[in-house]
Amino acid sequence: MQARRNDACRCAAKMIKRDEMMETEFTPWLSLAGGVLIGLSATLLMAMNGRIAGMTGILTGIIPPFSTDWAWRIAFLAGAIVAPGIYLFAGGEIAYAVPVSLPLLTLGGLIVGVGVYYGAGCTSGHGVCGMARLSPRSIAATATFMIATAVTVYVVRHIAEI
Amino acid sequence: MQKLIYSGLIGAIFGLGIAISGMANPAKVLNFFDVAGSWDPSLIFVMGGALLTTALGYRLVFGAASKPLFDAEFHLPINKIIDARLIAGSATFGIGWGIAGFCPGGAIPALGFGGVSVIAFTGAMVIGIVLARALDGLRHKPAKAF
């Protein structure tokens, strides 16, 4: 670890920045519980509304021109935004850190927007709902974006060292 | 009205699940993909838990009912073709996810507590969707709604 740090760091500021982005706690049970809740939500949305719980699809329907069934989409999104706040207010804890600068977040956001539009889905739509249905398109899409993300993280962190 | 209340509650379950799982935490998401660095395998448990629950849940739903409670039919994607558009779009999404650490499903729940970072990401993402749709509309008829 020490040797690695010496290699990786060319100045003190960089070392602090790199240390910040390192190490998040391994949380198998909490993450599993969160995953089960996501799956429960996907199941209920299919049972009630007959819809795939894909964030790209739900969100795109309320970006003008609105789809005709915009109302349930707004309700779903509002619930998703408000719930973590209520959980925090009730004394729950949510680990959260953003080791990415604002310009890169904005660039990343733009690229994600274009990508999920053409790819017709994201982690929730393809990665969870589509994979659960064994959809060949979703399996191909998920494999593609997981590999692309891993390669990008490797380039950003270990080659470009942004 | 009932449909809206249920939709809000189902969204709340989704948002809570995302928030506690770590999918809304860019530090954790980026560490999941950083196998060569500070690897945190937690997100395997998110994906695994979500996938198994959904697969089981869908089986139960499709087995028990021929239509959803608040709609005339299940809206399932029928397109089966794996084309360049799907792969290029997904690869593009992955590049953006790797740069920012947020995916759409992670970012929306984080809007409730994440401050300016996630607002900047989400704003840019919406602009990206609008731009892509406009560009697509120039070449084809407007894309069908999801």
- What's the burial of B31, exposed, middle or buried (CB within 10 Å: 0-12/13-18/19+)? buried
- pLDDT tens, residue by residue, A76-91: 999 999 999 999 999 9
ipTM of the complex: 0.94
Residue in A with minimal Cα distance to B43: A31
Q: What is the mean pLDDT of residues A14-19?
A: 44
Which of B50, B80, B121 faces A39 most closely, judged by CB atoms? B50
Contacts of residue B102, defined as CB under 8 A and 6 or more positions apart, other chains included, come to A105, A108, A109, A112, B24, B26, B29, B110, B118, B121, B122, B125
Q: Which of residues 114-143 of A touch B (CB under 8 A)?
A: 114-120, 122-124, 126-133, 135-137, 140-142
Which residue of chain B has the CA closest to A159?
B36
Decide if B10 is inside a domain. Answer: yes
Quick one: pLDDT at residue B141?
Answer: 58
DSSP A26: -
**Cα separations (Å) of B103 from A54, A67, A105, B62, B98?**
11, 22, 11, 28, 9
Comparing CA positions, the residue from A59, A125, A75 lying closest to residue B132 is A59
**Residue A22: what pLDDT?**
67
The pLDDT, as a whole number, for residue A19 is 47
d(CA B20, CA A159): 31
For residue A131, give every residue at least 6 positions away whose Cβ sits within 8 Å of its Cβ, in sequence order, or none. Answer: A138, A139, A142, B51
Q: How many residues does chain A have?
A: 162
Q: Give me chain A's average pLDDT, please.
A: 89
Instruction: Write the pLDDT tens digit of every residue in A130-146.
Output: 999 999 999 999 999 99
pLDDT at B120: 98
What crossing angle do the helices spanning B26-33 and A12-21 adopt, rounded to 10°? Answer: 90
With respect to residue B121, please indicate whether it lies within any of the assigned structural domains: yes
Label residue B80 exposed, middle or buried (CB < 10 Å: 0-12, 13-18, 19+).
exposed
B79 vs B4, higher pLDDT: B4
Q: Three-state DSSP class for B113? A: coil
**At residue B142, does pLDDT exceed 70?**
no
What is the span of the domain harbouring residue B72?
A: 2-139
| Statement: residue A10 has pLDDT above 50 | no
Domain count for chain B: 1
Q: How far is CA B34 from CA A24, A118, B26, B48, in A?
A: 11, 26, 12, 19
Measured at the CA of B88, the angle between CA B29 and CA B54, to 5 degrees, comes to: 50
CB contact under 8 A, A39 and B53: yes
Tens of pLDDT, residues A35-93: 999 999 999 999 999 999 999 999 999 998 888 999 999 999 999 999 999 999 999 99
Best of A15, A81, A149 to disrupt the B interface (most B CBs within 10 Å) is A149
pLDDT band at B71 (very low <50, low <70, confident <90, very high): very high
Task: Answer yes or no: are the C-beta atoms of B28 and B42 closer than 8 Å.
Answer: yes
- Does B146 fall in a domain? no
Q: CA of B96: which chain A residue's CA is closest?
A: A108
Q: Please report the residues numbered 99 through 138 in chain B whose beta carbons come closer than 8 angstroms to any beta carbon of chain A.
A: 99-106, 108-114, 116-118, 120-133, 136
Flag whether B144 is in a domain: no
Q: Which amino acid is at B140?
A: H
- B57 lies in some domain: yes
pLDDT at A4: 40
| CA separation for the pair A80, B11 (Å, rounded) | 5
- Residue A9 pLDDT > 60: no
> What's the mean per-residue pLDDT of chain B?
94
Give the CA dihedral A43, A44, A46, A48, nearest 10 degrees: 160
Residues found in chain B? 146
Contact B23, B103 (CB under 8 A): yes
Q: For A116-128, what is each residue's pLDDT tens digit?
A: 999 999 999 999 9
- Percent of chain B at pLDDT above 70? 95
Per-window interface: A 31-70 vs B, CB < 8 A: 31-61, 63, 65, 67
